[in-house]
Structure 1
């Protein structure tokens, strides 16, 4: 995938990638790439962790996996986040950026 940085992390075989999150968007969607990050728009506001929860919910639905398999590793109060996803194929993550 050109420009989209995705890699395996840890012994569990989880996959990590960066996300550029845009809160208060008109709809929840993947909006392509922002540098090497996946750009995701969510309707939730950035206060009280609502945008983070919306991101986790959106990615779990997009990948058809349980919410417990999606974790924000860093960037809790930033637009740029590192997300770790377990029990999913690398190709499924790469298809998100298409």
Structure 2
């Protein structure tokens, strides 16, 4: 079947990529929410009356901000890749449908 100028695309595989990326985005949303909202350290939870206490709270806030930043960047990357994958899948589906009509 087909000559050297023909191509084949596994649309099911592309659909699976899109589905898996949506799963990753859902997981990332949960992790991002946890990093932003479930890592609060109330004053006194690390102890008190020692010189490093403010440094510990500051370090915690810095790490929390870094994790949130990384999560947002990864989320944006996965979202962009998912949208591009869906767009490619749709274009191939349209081309396949168009070729079927021509035959």
TM-score (norm 2): 0.21
TM-score (norm 1): 0.22
Larger radius of gyration: 2
Task: Specify which structure has the higher proportion of helix.
Answer: 2
Task: Specify which structure has the higher proportion of strand.
Answer: 1
By relative contact order (CA 8 Å, sep 6+), the higher-ranking structure is 2
